[in-house]
Amino acid sequence: TGFCCAPKMRRLTKKKALTLVKELDAFPKVPESYVESTASGGTVSLIAFSLMAILAFLEFFVYRDTWMKYEYEVDKDFGSKLRINVDITVADEMPIVGADVLDLAETMVASDGLKYEPVHFELSPQQRLWHMTLLHIQERLKVEHSLQDLIFKTAMKGAPPPQPQTDDTAASFRACRIHGHLYVNKVAGNFHITVGKSIPHPRGHAHLAALVSHDSYNFSHRIDHLSFGEDLPGIISPLDGTEKVSADSNHIFQYFITIVPTKLNTYKVSAETHQYSVTEQDRAINHAAGSHGVSGIFMKYDISSLMVKVTEQHMPLWQFLVRLCGIVGGIFSTTGMIHGIVGFLVEVICCRFQMGVYRQLKHFPVLLFQGAPENEQVNNENQNS
């Protein structure tokens, strides 16, 4: 008997468990016979589904987008070398000018990585168009800082047009293009372009310019590119596109640069580069008026002790799904509440007339009831007579 009752007990236990699960159902099913479809409900449902589709579509674009995260920490790398990328055109002729770097420790860095190329200082129409575009980008970067994130994420489409090949002889070129790169110590220094080639000596260095007349100096220049660290295509530096033209033959141009080490990690590139800010000034040299100095282009740079880490981030998939559920559930609940409130208000407003009819029907039996004793009294009198 015990063995026979055991299966029955198991079935009873399963039935109780199923009954308990059914009682915990938070989504009870309503029979279709109790459901009434209305035109207003269908209209609200259509609007709700349209909003869900539009917001889900827009949310997908938000999911595809990325943003840049900035973090700051102390730069602990002191032993590495700093790379300087240079592309500058000077209006002076090639044999006259010379470029080199002198750091804070009075160490002169050889400029073997720089090339001197005779060119025309004037730009061709195609090059001038690119130069104007670069200046326009620089102006927008000063106003809209979010463009820097776009530059970090994607390389600029297009590059400066190459120098046109001409049949002119070397004697017809009146300018010198200095381009290439240098590796310097990671300390403050001074990159300069001035008259004469540099020669080292025990107390520093000097430039041999004894045979050059001061009246022939012309340090009008155009900075096509100046950056520090790894040279990345598409990164626009603050001095790119800078052009300075001086009417005086004896002029000094000074740039004071603060370099910030930067680690860039995007989905396209991972590199260690450097950003920088710059202030500038220029003046004419007139010893008689007390304006002393050496004619040339001087870029004095200093390196910040803080490092910036720029990382491209993306919305995770689980967050995208949670936001989609929030959109669908929020619109469904909100439209349901709005539909219920509007339906209630419509019923209240539209049923006032019916409520007035109910009041008339409510008073009519009272009048009949009040008139009944009078009729009974008349009948009684008639019977007595």
Q: Give CA–CA dist 59/324, Å, rounded.
A: 8
Residue 158: left if φ>0, alpha if ψ -120 to 50, beta else—which one? left
The structural architecture, per CATH, of the domain 75-155+170-314 is: Sandwich (2.60)
pLDDT for 143 = 84
Question: Where do the domains of the chain lie?
Answer: 43-66+316-354, 75-155+170-314
Percent of the chain with pLDDT over 90: 19
Tens digit of each residue's pLDDT (9 = 90 or more) over 86-103: 999 998 776 678 888 888
Dig out the tokens for 201 from the structure.
Answer: 């000596």
Q: Give CA–CA dist 293/276, Å, rounded.
A: 26
- Report the SS3 class of residue 320: helix
Tens digit of each residue's pLDDT (9 = 90 or more) over 8-42: 556 657 677 777 767 766 666 667 666 666 777 77
Is the Cα dihedral 57, 63, 67, 69 positive or negative? positive
Tens digit of each residue's pLDDT (9 = 90 or more) over 316-338: 999 999 999 999 889 888 888 88
Flag whether pLDDT at 377 surpasses 70.
no
